[in-house]
A and B are shown apart, each in its own frame.
Chain A
Amino acid sequence: MTRLVYFAWVRERIGKAEEELDIPASVKTVGDLIAWLPSLGEDYENALQFPDAIRAAINQEHVERDEPIAGAREIGLFPPMTGG
């Protein structure tokens, strides 16, 4: 099981801030994950319909799309950041 955490409008559209998911072995990278999640339902589809607008972190560090997710404790998905 992998812990997923969502923020800002990704969190709002999915309808939860975090969850534990059993991710199939065929889902190997962050890019695969963002492509697979919409299969879980309409809320995920809606949250991830513009994949280019999604940023990701593994174990609280920014990662690119080709980053392997094997062994990740926590994966965060969120929109581009707007702090400061």
Chain B
Amino acid sequence: MAAAPLTIRVQREDFDTQAAVHGLTEGRRDVGALVTFTGLCRDEAGALSALELEHYPGMAEAELKRIGEASISRFSLLGLTIIHRYGRMQPGDQIVLVAATAPHRQAAFDGANFVMDYLKTSAPFWKKEHAADGTEGGWVPAKDADDSARARWKDV
């Protein structure tokens, strides 16, 4: 059996979810479930005007590939696409896309969820906030909740 297709993209430009999904399902008859997750820039109740996403070029791609391969093998996914943007985003802009396919829904949900939990804590991206009042809000601190979200995959 051929390895499940894994697509990793780290880019400044916006992405088209439909096109990304098409690449996972086109010409296939074995896919029973497709789960997509899209992360967007939110305005924090009007306080935030923009987010600056910094990344470690080269390592960001390599780390997403390691996470993607782990998810494919753990959940027997049929395909997986991860797209993460960098640069300046405004509220409403898309930041990240994870699309996972599998024969059944549970694997597709878990596969996408696993990727996001690992991505949050180990893919080298950093967010800096710009406040709506024009001041530089500073770097977003890492959340303990993200570490816990990742840790739960160790127990199952």
A and B, one complex? yes
Q: What residues of chain A have their CB less than 8 Å away from a CB belonging to chain B?
A: 5, 7-9, 57, 60-62, 76, 78-84
Whether A81 pairs with B122 at a CB distance below 8 angstroms is yes
Whether B124 pairs with A84 at a CB distance below 8 angstroms is no
CA distance A59 to B144 in the complex (A): 27
Interfacial chain B residues near A81, Cβ < 8 Å? 120-126, 142
Interfacial chain A residues near B58, Cβ < 8 Å? 60
With A8-B126, A62-B122, A81-B123 as known contacts, state yes or no: A57 contacts B142, CB within 8 Å: no
Give the A-B contact count at a CB cut-off of 8 A: 72
With A83-B53, A83-B123, A84-B116 as known contacts, state yes or no: A76 contacts B59, CB within 8 Å: yes
Distance from A81 Cβ to chain B, minimum over Cβ atoms (Å): 6
The verdict on B48 contacting chain A, using a C-beta distance below 8 Å, is no
Main secondary structure of the interface of B (DSSP, over half): mixed
With A8-B128, A8-B139 as known contacts, state yes or no: A84 contacts B56, CB within 8 Å: no
Interfacial chain A residues near B53, Cβ < 8 Å? 83
* 13 A-B pairs with C-beta separation under 8 A: A7-B126, A8-B139, A60-B56, A60-B63, A62-B63, A79-B139, A80-B121, A80-B141, A81-B125, A82-B120, A83-B53, A83-B119, A84-B95
Whether B62 pairs with A83 at a CB distance below 8 angstroms is no
Q: Of B56, B127, B128, which is within 8 A of A78 by CB? A: B56
The verdict on B13 contacting chain A, using a C-beta distance below 8 Å, is no
Whether A79 pairs with B142 at a CB distance below 8 angstroms is yes
